[in-house]
């Protein structure tokens, strides 16, 4: 890697095998997919997160899975930014998003948490909302279904079948963001 532009991609999720494959763990799934594509594994970095490092477009990219609950993801992310000298302009938070139907993926910079407590925690710990977000649509619960049960639930069989293609689109969006910048990455992603 020739560039000194180090990036940090923090996938939001809950630690533990019982949360694997749930809607709320889409962020973990995306960073795991990025690591798997590069053939690298996550390693424990203290008690606060698992970390892997890959290269994208000659840039070093740290992939993080905070090991606190999703709603307390901020302190580990802020700690990684400090210890690896990553500015907020090169922080990408990958999150599940209830405001989009399953399969919709959007890139944005800044903005409020939209009801996502993990994003709120990151904003509070980092001290700004001016960072990048990859919002992965997981849909909304059916009428009468509790929100917590929905986000901590598994995908439907139809969604699970489409999930690998969704992860591929997220990885392509990350590649485009790092190589070409936000505007071009948004154009490519939002015209799919």
In this predicted structure, the answer to whether residue 9 has a pLDDT above a threshold of 90 is yes
Burial class (CB in 10 A: 0-12, 13-18, 19+), 9: buried
Residues assigned a catalytic role: 24
At residue 2 the predicted structure's pLDDT band, cuts being 50, 70 and 90, is: very low
**Sequence spans of domains, the chain:** 7-190
Rg for the chain (alpha carbons), in Å?
Answer: 15
Top-confidence residue, 114 or 35: 35
Confidence of residue 192 (pLDDT cuts 50, 70, 90): low
Tell me how crowded residue 73 is: count the other CB atoms within 10 A of its CB.
32
CATH code of the region 7-190: 3.40.50.1470
Pairing of strands 7-11, 49-56: unpaired
Tell me the CA distances in angstroms from 59 to 1, 3, 5, 67, 70, one per residue in order: 6, 5, 6, 25, 27
Given this model, what pLDDT does residue 3 score? 58
Between these two residues, 148 and 25, which has the higher pLDDT value? Answer: 25
């Amino acid at each position: 890697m020739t560039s000194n532009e180090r990036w940090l991609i923090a996938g939001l999720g809950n630690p533990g095998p019982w949360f694997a494959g749930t809607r709320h763990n889409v962020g973990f799934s995306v960073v795991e997919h990025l690591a798997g594509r590069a053939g690298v594994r996550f390693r424990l970095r203290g008690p606060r997160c698992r970390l892997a490092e890959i290269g994208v477009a000659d840039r070093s990219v740290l992939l993080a899975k905070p090991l606190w609950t999703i709603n307390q993801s901020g302190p580990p992310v802020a700690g990684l930014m400090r210890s690896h000298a990553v500015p907020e302009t090169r922080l990408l938070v990958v999150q599940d998003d209830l405001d989009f139907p399953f399969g919709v993926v959007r890139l944005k910079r800044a903005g409020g948490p939209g009801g996502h407590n993990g994003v709120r925690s990151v904003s509070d710990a980092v001290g700004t909302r001016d960072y990048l977000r990859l919002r992965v649509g997981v849909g909304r619960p059916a009428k009468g279904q509790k929100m917590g049960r929905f986000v901590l639930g598994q995908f439907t069989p139809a969604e699970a079948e489409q999930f690998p293609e969704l992860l591929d689109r997220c990885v392509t969006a990350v590649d485009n963001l790092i190589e070409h910048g936000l505007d071009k990455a948004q154009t490519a992603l939002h015209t799919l």
